[in-house]
Amino acid sequence: MTVTVVGGAGAGTAVREDGVPRVAAIGELELESGFRLPEVRIAYETWGTLAPDGSNAVLVEHALTGDTHVAAGRARHGASEAERRAAQSGGWWEGLVGPGAAIDTDRWFVVCTNIVGGCYGSTGPAAPAPPDVDPEGRPWGSRFPLVTVRDSVHAEAALADALGIGSWRLVIGGSMGGARALEWAVTYPDRVRACAVVAACAQSSAEQLAWGQAQNLAIRQDPHFRGGDYYDGPLPVTGLGLARRIAHITYRSADELHHRFGRSPQADEHVIGTHPGGRGRYQVESYLDHQASKLAGRFDANSYLAVNETLMSHDVARGRGTLEEALSVTSCEWLVAAVDSDRLYLPRESDVLAAALPGDVRRHTLTSPSGHDGFLIETPQLGKLLLETVLREP
């Protein structure tokens, strides 16, 4: 296996670079479906220094549309201005990961990967297909296969091998990241010493599948989608934006939307018009428009479908008996945490997971008015839980 480094020195070298994108070429990945995905590349970033015995490695798993930049970093001396700016920009779990934070990058060697199927450097639908698939090097597009959560973990295990990491001191993730963390603990129980599953569950529920289907159809019914082979023409940003609106409603709580927006109209817009299609917007509609526009500007529609299908595939007990039987192989420490206002991943689903784990595992609670997104927002609470449970001093 070869590791191709983008933008700096490789992990474990004398030169420390934090938050700089890199890419590992891990070769062929055999998927659960039997499809063999060739020439797979995984994008990742690291923070901190890997101990000589590899004992201080922490894997952070991103959520549905996340990327590898979990925290700000620093590029090596001599890096380009663009590399320095990218490294120094704030990450999506800023405050939880970094020097002196709960996941202290002066102590832990932190790795964050981009899931296979994503669009932040890992092999995905927008990546050029290899010559034996497409001699012209066109994007995978509609030919990209289904990648399950379990498949994504196998890919990350190959990356860990390449980085010289035999086991993780901690694997942590929220939402889809939590599903990936849980799958790691079951698929590779000897390689996970502690696992933190935040705002996630043991398997995607019927309601979560229903929300997923609605988002997928929003993209597929965009006239510019063209069955997934749209890269030589207009992008299906309307469908992608609608998918994001649907998803974002589930990410926030009803109380938060009420208190932030209520029924107020957007400034200088009149919500009582002469006909429904010509009225102005309520503030909550403007908010959803903004969220849709942001995602459409940074994400690929096919990748949204790919990772959404990955999340819909989540069932840690698939092919492993009952949930209790599936989890019985694990021997790591656990943190299971739910957001009390979450209406997408209900706290009672975290209760089911905690009850099925071996030993006496309790479900912890993040108190937040923000709904599911509380796992990203309430970093002081989550950091405190980590230090009290899976990252406590010996």
Q: Could you list the active site residues?
A: 175, 342, 372
Distances (CA, A) of 288 to 1, 235, 252, 281, 297: 44, 20, 11, 11, 14
State residue 1's pLDDT score: 40
pTM of the model: 0.95
What does R_g of the chain's alpha carbons equal in angstroms? 21
194-198 sheet: strands from edge to edge: 22-30, 36-47, 109-113, 57-61, 170-174, 194-198, 333-339, 363-366
Q: Report the distance separating Cα 134 and Cα 129, nearest Å.
A: 6
- CA nearest neighbour of 103 among 167, 171, 178: 171
Bridge partners (DSSP) of residue 25 are 2, 41
State residue 394's pLDDT score: 63
- CA nearest neighbour of 248 among 93, 63, 115: 63
State residue 76's pLDDT score: 74
228 Rama class: left (phi>0) / alpha (psi -120 to 50) / beta:
left
Q: What is the mean pLDDT of each run of 10 residues along the chain (394 residues)?
A: 43 68 97 98 97 97 98 82 83 96 97 98 97 95 98 98 97 98 98 98 98 98 98 98 98 98 96 91 98 98 98 98 98 98 98 97 98 98 98 81
Helices (H) and strands (E) in the chain, counts: 12, 10
State residue 199's pLDDT score: 98
